[in-house]
Chains A and B, each alone.
Chain A
Amino acid sequence: MSGFVSRGFRGRRRPAEGTGGRVPPGQYVEAAFPVLTAGPTPRIDLAEWRFRVAGLVAHPRAWTWEEIRALPPSTFTGDIHCVTKWTKLDTTFTGVSVDILLDAAEPLPVASHAVASSYGGYTTNLPLDDLRGGKAWVVWEFDGAPLPPEHGGPARLLVPHLYFWKSAKWVMGLRLLDHDAPGFWESLGYHNHGDPWLEERYWSD
């Protein structure tokens, strides 16, 4: 049915004008914060919560909720991009830089990739370089309030320079590998890297 246009339909999107090149190709601006979920929201007891860094590291580490909250916090303010084409501008997340967590575990030289895994079974894979150099956080606050469960609370991974499915909700750890290992959506046709500026949405992009 190529070419058919629904008379008078615009959709709810906000035009990208005035956003000065902040909106990646194929995206539209969304004021809300849509909830996309692949399963039930895990109920996590904070006393049992852990974040682990394991795999190809010299010192596998685990942090309790109190321990991770005691690390030097940092805040990301910026835009996030979902592969389903919405971009949300000017979000603020607070947590700890993944650099601090990786430094404590000391990745081995052969470590090139990681798989982030979550309570509830979700996984996503990333090159290690995309987790280092101030590009990734484990966050527990969104817009100044505790991260709501439907958005990944108590804590989620935040890797805002990649499509948002890489920012694993309910994150529980990173496993470092010497190869790429497709995660939940990557094994179902989505891109292993996911750079929104190169429109790396799908497997063959």
Chain B
Amino acid sequence: MDDHDLRVDGNAAAGLLGEVFALEATAAWTTCGGCGAIGQVGALLAYCHGMGAVLRCPGCDTAVVRVANAGGRWWLDLRGARSVRFDPAP
């Protein structure tokens, strides 16, 4: 097994992100702070386990979104995203 087996799509973090965001997070658009690539959170490469989820740019592996539910608190780091855009719910 290698890391390629372990990674999944940002969609896999939808439940955890949904605990924080009122709007559907995996449909949000991010601009990668590493390479400038624009894409939806659902299309980021996700590494998820019991500590939290790290969503990385498929182009340059920059951690665009980091989220953890640590002891009942949600911690969010969006510094890897130059911007995050939520469109209104349809």
Chain A residues engaging chain B, CB cutoff 8 angstroms: 34-41, 82-85, 121, 149-150, 165, 185, 187-190, 201-205
Is there an interface contact between A85 and B61, defined as CB atoms closer than 8 Å? Answer: no
Chain B interface, number of residues (Cβ within 8 angstroms): 24
- Report the Cα distance A185→B49, complex, angstroms: 12
Q: How far is the CB of B79 from chain A (nearest CB, A)?
A: 10
Q: How far is the CB of A87 from chain B (nearest CB, A)?
A: 14
Give how many A-B residue pairs fall within 8 Å (CB-CB).
72
Residue of B nearest to A86 (CB): B50
B71 at interface (Cβ–Cβ under 8 A)? yes
Residues of B within 8 A of A188 (CB): 52, 66-68, 70, 75, 77
Most B CB within 10 A of own CB, among A84, A121, A188, A204: A188
Residues of A within 8 A of B47 (CB): 37-39
24 contacts between A and B (CB under 8 A): A34-B49, A38-B47, A38-B63, A39-B61, A40-B4, A40-B7, A84-B49, A84-B51, A121-B63, A149-B2, A165-B51, A185-B51, A188-B52, A188-B67, A188-B68, A189-B70, A189-B71, A189-B75, A190-B68, A201-B71, A202-B73, A203-B71, A204-B71, A204-B73
B54 at interface (Cβ–Cβ under 8 A)? yes
Residues of B within 8 A of A205 (CB): 71
Is there an interface contact between A187 and B77, defined as CB atoms closer than 8 Å? Answer: yes
Residues of A within 8 A of B52 (CB): 185, 188-189
